[in-house]
């Protein structure tokens, strides 16, 4: 039921997640403005350490919690802190400096700057070898390089995401590699690839909160096996032109693409026909013109009744960016009545739909023969 869970989130939670992360982004930008990378070496211990009010560590932990919670982390994850707000204390990683707190603090700042330089270069091996604590590493990366990884701080949370998505966490690899693996998996699934990493994180949290799981290891295969089956059939039969289009239409409407569109719409986008047998998964940008990802991108599809599917496929109708129907001058008034086409008709569009419709209006729609 993977697609249904995704669609439920999109219908009821997606917009809220987008808004939530917009607010979190404001806090992130303010933090980075206050602590640009080039100024970090100038921080004093009081400016940096947990135990000092409104310090670098205090703010990165609490002010940015809406990005991804660090939970009740031990202050030592930041390398050095003020115990009771007074006593300078080192984490075990840096206790090799003994009483040389100034030397330890300088080393910590250098480690932070090196981590951020490695993140900028996407040097994952160097990130994995950083002696900074893993949750702190992750927090720094998502703060200074948003979008690079999935915004999850603790390894426990990341493992729970893998579990909810039906994926396998690799305990032999560092957390950064597992995070990148999850990000790349997300980007490989057409229904998820357009989501920001932040919204995807919210989806994973939603799965946890509602005790839901999806079979992520099957999801990608469902998409691409369906596409490969169609292509193999076309090659095997050496089909061209109209015959090729017919096979594509039949196979696509038996497969995962139609299931996606049924989850999204449940009725003809234009006339509200609800009987499943009379609903067709229609590509906006035709199959033959689309790449592997576009062919199975739900935003490249509309669910239409047979009459409206044929009119759309043949270019007799299209839609503007507001979803308002555009009817070709090639259709006279009588045929417009028989096909149930009126100038006041409209459909709801996603941003993805709008991009594909630009192609449709330019290359498929018939202005006049």
Average pLDDT, the chain: 86
Q: Does residue 17 register a pLDDT over 80? A: yes
pLDDT tens for residues 223-232? Answer: 444 555 544 5
The C-alpha torsion from 267 through 269 and 273 to 279, rounded to 10°, is -70
Q: Does residue 36 register a pLDDT over 60? A: yes
Quick one: pLDDT at residue 251?
47
Q: Do residues 51 and 75 make contact, with C-beta atoms less than 8 angstroms apart? A: yes
Stretch (H or E) spanning 294: helix 292-295
Q: Does residue 145 register a pLDDT over 90? A: yes
Quick one: pLDDT at residue 129?
95
CA distance 365 to 362: 7
Quick one: pLDDT at residue 250?
47
pLDDT tens for residues 90-132? Answer: 999 999 999 999 999 999 999 999 999 999 998 999 999 999 9
Quick one: pLDDT at residue 245?
52
pLDDT tens for residues 261-310? Answer: 776 777 899 998 988 889 888 999 988 888 877 877 788 999 999 999 99
Which pairs count as long-range contacts for 285-294, CB under 8 Å and 24+ apart, including other chains? Answer: 285/356, 285/359, 285/360, 286/245, 286/313, 286/364, 287/230, 287/245, 287/248, 287/252, 288/244, 288/245, 288/248, 289/359, 289/363, 292/224, 292/227, 293/190, 293/193, 294/356
- In sequence order, the 6+-apart residues with CB closer than 8 A to the CB of 74 are none
Q: Do residues 222 and 174 make contact, with C-beta atoms less than 8 angstroms apart? A: no
CA distance 140 to 47: 17
**Closest among 182, 145, 180 to 28, alpha carbons compared:** 145
pLDDT tens for residues 341-363? Answer: 999 999 989 888 999 999 999 99
Quick one: pLDDT at residue 263?
67
Give domain limits for the chain.
Answer: 2-209, 218-363
Quick one: pLDDT at residue 310?
93
Q: Does residue 74 register a pLDDT over 80? A: yes
CA distance 14 to 350: 12
Q: Does residue 243 register a pLDDT over 50? A: no
* Length of the chain measured in residues: 369
Least confident of 96-110, 178-192, 243-257: 243-257
Complete DSSP assignment for 67-82: TS---S--GGGGSEEE
CA distance 105 to 80: 7
Neighbours of 179 (CB within 10 A): 24
């Amino acid at each position: 039921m993977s697609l249904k869970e995704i669609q439920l989130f999109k219908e009821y939670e997606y917009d809220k997640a987008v808004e939530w992360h917009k607010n979190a982004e404001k806090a992130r930008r303010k933090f980075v403005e206050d602590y640009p990378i080039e100024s970090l070496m100038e921080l004093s211990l009081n400016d940096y350490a947990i135990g000092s009010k409104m310090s670098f560590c205090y703010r990165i932990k609490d002010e940015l919690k809406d990005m991804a919670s660090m939970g009740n982390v031990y202050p030592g994850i930041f390398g050095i802190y003020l115990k009771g707000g007074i006593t300078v204390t080192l984490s075990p990683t840096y206790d090799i400096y003994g009483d040389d707190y100034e030397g330890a603090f300088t080393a910590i700042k250098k480690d932070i700057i090196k981590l951020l330089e490695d993140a900028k270069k996407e040097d994952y091996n160097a990130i994995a070898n950083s002696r900074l604590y893993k949750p702190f590493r992750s927090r720094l990366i998502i703060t200074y390089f948003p979008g690079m990884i999935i915004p999850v701080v603790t390894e426990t949370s990341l493992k729970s995401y893998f579990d909810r998505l039906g994926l396998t966490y690799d305990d032999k690899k560092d957390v950064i590699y597992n995070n990148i693996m999850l990000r790349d998996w997300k980007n490989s699934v057409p229904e998820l690839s357009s989501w920001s990493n932040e919204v995807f994180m919210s989806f994973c949290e939603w799965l946890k909160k509602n005790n839901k799981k999806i079979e992520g290891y099957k999801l990608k295969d469902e998409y691409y096996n369906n596409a490969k089956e169609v292509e193999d059939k076309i090659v095997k039969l050496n089909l061209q032109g109209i015959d090729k289009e017919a096979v594509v239409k039949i196979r696509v409407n038996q497969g995962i693409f139609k299931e996606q569109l049924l989850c999204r719409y449940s009725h003809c986008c234009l006339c509200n026909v609800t009987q499943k047998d009379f609903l067709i998964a229609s590509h906006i940008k035709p199959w033959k013109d689309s790449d592997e990802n576009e062919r199975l991108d739900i935003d490249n599809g509309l669910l239409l009744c047979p009459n409206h599917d044929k009119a759309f496929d043949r270019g007799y109708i299209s839609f503007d960016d507001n979803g308002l129907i555009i009817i070709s001058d090639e259709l006279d008034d009588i045929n417009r009545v028989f096909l149930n086409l009126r100038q006041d008709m409209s459909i709801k569009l996603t941003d993805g739909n709008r991009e594909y419709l630009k192609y449709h209006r330019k290359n498929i729609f018939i202005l006049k023969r």
